[in-house]
Amino acid sequence: MIAQNYNSIHIENSLLKKIKVKENQLKIAQESNMIHVAEELQNQLLKLQGQLSEPQQDVEIQALMTLLDE
């Protein structure tokens, strides 16, 4: 369980870094009036944000399943 928590935290930190980079890229694209690039970056950002919530849900489900096993 500790290894799962560590992996979950590592994945979350990695996703947060990727989100921050995409946010910076999006800001630059918007400031540069690059409409199509900004739209694509927004789509990528939404996907990353969606992935951020998935691992947390998996860990919670695994924790509940562990409680049921006991």
| 12-66 confidence digits (pLDDT tens) | 888 899 999 999 999 999 999 999 999 999 999 999 988 877 655 555 566 666 6
Q: Which residue has the higher pLDDT, 10 or 49?
A: 49
pLDDT at 46: 92
- Angstrom distances, CA of residue 57 to CA of 10, 33, 37, 40: 15, 37, 31, 27
pTM: predicted TM-score of the whole model, two decimal places: 0.67
Q: How high is the pLDDT of residue 11?
A: 80
CA distance linking residue 44 with residue 40, whole number of Å:
6
